[in-house]
Amino acid sequence: MKPPRLLVATTNPGKLKEYRCLLDGVPFDIIGPADLGLDAGVEETGATFEENAILKATTLCAASGLPTLADDSGLEVDALEGEPGVRSHRYAGDDATDAQRNRFLLKKLKKVPAGYRTARFRCVIAIAWPGGRVEIFNGECGGEIALAPRGDRGFGYDPVFFVPELNKTMAELPLEIKNQLSHRARAAARAKAYLEEMGEGGEPAEAPFH
């Protein structure tokens, strides 16, 4: 018997690949909106990561009739009073590329010296069920903003997010290392534990922890 499907609400192939790796072993077939011919575009009107994650998960759950996982994540830079935050993807404009967003951020921090560029990645995962239930899982990873981009792995702000204990940016890390310490990995570990509790029946149970 085929396992039940879990829709991951993203059009980003890199993010879908990460989730398939992060959730490996859960009793669900992980698919993306493109596998269903769905438009995954949802206007992120929430004021917080949690609100946006819930909005995306519930919207795609209603459209697909499937349990749906969505996240909202972003970068918070202390020297910028928490910016870009929920605007991380749109920080340099709605149609900006990852490289353009990184250049825009580095320009904002041009006068901020090393040692004062502390930051964190935050991720909130929402899992919405067709019956209306939603579970929330959080993850965070601290670091610093590098003086220049380094590395060609990952996506988003990975090339400028420096992890001091490893002396590398996120974009310099192999996926298996990134998936042990990233904000998304930490939130996904909590979501995975919850999904593993579900069994193959696909009925929502109490989340073991958040």
Per-residue pLDDT tens digits for 145-169: 999 999 998 889 999 999 999 999 9
User: Is residue 74 assigned to a domain?
Assistant: yes
How confident is the prediction for the chain on average, in pLDDT? Answer: 90
206 belongs to a structural domain? no
CATH number, residue 115: 3.90.950.10
| Residue 39: inside a domain | yes
Q: What is the mean pLDDT of residues 79-94?
A: 92
What's the pLDDT at 137? 98
Number of domains composing the chain = 1
Is 208 a member of any domain? no
pLDDT over 70 at 209, yes or no: no
In a domain, 150, yes or no: yes
- Tens of pLDDT, residue by residue over 12-23, are 888 888 899 899
**Would you say residue 209 lies in a domain?**
no
Q: Which domain holds residue 53?
A: 5-201
> Per-residue pLDDT averaged across 96-125, rounded?
96
- Secondary structure (DSSP) of the chain: -PPPEEEE----HHHHHHHHHHTTTSSSEEE-HHHHT---------SSHHHHHHHHHHHHHHHHSS-EEEEEEEEEEGGGTT-BGGGGGGTT-TT--HHHHHHHHHHHTTTPPTTS-EEEEEEEEEEE-TTS-EEEEEEEEEEEE-SS---SSSSTTGGGEEETTTTEEGGGS-HHHHHHHSHHHHHHHHHHHHHHHHGGGT-----S--
**142 falls in which pLDDT band (50, 70, 90)?**
very high
- What integer pLDDT is reported at residue 178 of this predicted model? 87
72 catalytic per annotation:
yes
User: Of 29, 35, 71, 72, which one is the catalytic site residue?
Assistant: 72
The per-residue pLDDT for 203 is 54
- Residue 127 within any structural domain of the chain: yes
